[in-house]
Amino acid sequence: MRLLPIGPDLAGDLWLAHQDDDVARWYAGRWSRDEAERAAAAMGRAWHDDGVHKWLAYARDSGELVGRGGLSYAEVDGRRRLEVGWAVRSPHQGRGYATEIGRAGLAHAFGELAATEVVAFTERHNHRSRAVMRRLAMTYVGEIRRPGLLPGRPGVHDDAPFALYAAGPQPTP
Ligand SMILES: CC(C)(COP(=O)(O)OP(=O)(O)OC[C@H]1O[C@@H](n2cnc3c(N)ncnc32)[C@H](O)[C@@H]1OP(=O)(O)O)[C@@H](O)C(=O)NCCC(=O)NCCS
């Protein structure tokens, strides 16, 4: 897998990643070109300002776009924390790519960034993403509430339950 930092130059591929049905389902719908361009620009700024943000992932053999993921800073339970995440386009799921993206994120965090903690969180009912967290040997910390999806209900809800996992020294939820 090849991991490239997302910036304005990769807005087209970021848009493509968010056209996948399964990715769109967990990111509250398909992104428009405009949304993808704005997100890519913001990610480019974050790479510049914070030295880290999400990557796009490409298969090494075919060069195909696998998905997105990696690290970014997020406000989690009132604190700015380093978060690791993943989203893999449907045809590439079930092959360990998300775990590989997560492992690369953790290695970067605890290596180059000398982080002491990395968290991951997902809607309580996103079992496939929680399985990646477990595969990465991240520890379940507890439940948090933030804007997100509820099972069987359309739209984004302010107070959705999320499962919080951590790697490194154990944080309080
Ligand atoms: C969450 C998501 C990334 C998980 O993808 P995934 O393909 O299930 O996860 P992995 O890449 O770790 O692959 C694991 C699967 O590959 C298999 N696998 C094959 N080779 C593997 C390897 N070398 N290492 C790990 N797993 C491997 C595992 O057995 C597992 O199979 P299973 O699905 O039958 O249990 C994917 O479902 C997705 O993109 N969903 C939509 C977006 C999303 O929800 N993102 C998370 C938001 S928080």
% of the chain exceeding 70 in pLDDT: 97
Pocket probe mutation, ligand 1, options 14, 76, 86, 133, max atoms within 8 Å of Cβ: 86
- Nearest-atom number in ligand 1 for the CA of 120 is 48
93 Cβ inside 6 Å of ligand 1: yes
CA 16 to ligand 1 center in whole angstroms: 19
**Are the C-beta atoms of residues 115 and 82 closer than 8 Å to each other?**
yes
Task: Say what the pLDDT of residue 38 is.
Answer: 98
Cα-Cα-Cα-Cα dihedral of 36, 42, 43, 47, to 10°? 160
Task: Say what the pLDDT of residue 173 is.
Answer: 54
pLDDT(170) > 50: no
For domain 2-167, give the CATH superfamily.
Answer: Gcn5-related N-acetyltransferase (GNAT) (3.40.630.30)
3-class SS of residue 21: helix
**Residue at token pair 């939820």:** 173
125 Cβ inside 6 Å of ligand 1: no
